[in-house]
A and B are shown apart, each in its own frame.
Chain A
Amino acid sequence: MTVFHGSARPAVGRRQFLTWLTRGSLMVVSALAVGQIARYFAFEPTADVPTAIPIGPPDRYAPATLTYLGPARAYIGRDSAGLYALDAVCTHLGCLVEQRTDGGFACPCHDSHFGADGQVESGPASKALHHLALELDQDGQAIVDRGRSVAPETRLAI
Chain B
Amino acid sequence: MTTKRPNFFYHLHPPTLPARESRFGYTFGLGGISLLLFLVLGVTGVLEMFLYVPTPAGAAESVRQITYLAPFGWLLRNMHYWGGQMMVGAVALHMARVVLSGGYKGRRFNWLIGMALLVLTLLLDFTGYVLRWDQDTAIALVTGTNLINAVPGIGPMLYRLVIGGAAVGQATLLRFYAWHVLGLVSVAAVLIVWHSFRVRRDGGISHREPAPGPASRVGREQLVKTELVAALLTLVVLVGLSVAVDAPLGPAADLTVLAAELRAPWFFLWIQELLRSAPPFLAGVLAPLAVLLLLSVLPYALDREQAGVGEWFNRPGRAAQGVFLAVLITVIALTARGLLR
Residues of A that sit less than 8 Å from B by CB:
38, 41-42, 44-46, 48-49, 68, 70-71, 73, 88, 92-96, 98, 108-111, 123-124, 126
Contact = CB atoms under 8 A, between A and B. Distances in A.
A144 B272 CA distance: 32
Contacts of B284: 93
Nearest to A45: B171
A71 B256 contact: yes
B43 to A, nearest CB: 29
A123 B139 CA distance: 19
B260 interface: yes
Interface string B146-164: 1100000000000011001
Given A110-B275, A110-B276, A94 B170 contact: no
B164 to A, nearest CB: 6
Interface of B: 139, 142-143, 146-147, 160-161, 164-167, 169-171, 254-262, 272, 275-280, 283-284
A126 B254 CA distance: 26
Contacts, number: 74
Given A48-B166, A124-B280, A96 B143 contact: no
Please report whether the interface of chain A is mostly helix, strand, loop or mixed according to DSSP. Answer: loop
Given A94-B143, A95-B143, A109-B262, A44 B165 contact: yes
A38 B160 CA distance: 11
A45 B175 CA distance: 11
B166 A124 contact: no
10 contacts: A48-B165, A48-B166, A48-B167, A70-B254, A73-B256, A93-B143, A108-B259, A109-B275, A124-B276, A124-B277
A126 B277 CA distance: 11
B146 to A, nearest CB: 4
Contact of A93 (B160, B255, B275, B277): B275
A124 B143 CA distance: 13
Contacts of B275: 92-93, 109-110, 124
Contacts of A110: 272, 275-276
Given A110-B276, A124-B275, A124-B279, A88 B258 contact: yes
A38 B157 CA distance: 11
Nearest to B341: A111
A94 B147 CA distance: 10
A111 B276 contact: yes
A149 to B, nearest CB: 15
A66 to B, nearest CB: 13
A38 B284 CA distance: 24
Contacts of B279: 124, 126
B262 A108 contact: yes
B161 A41 contact: yes
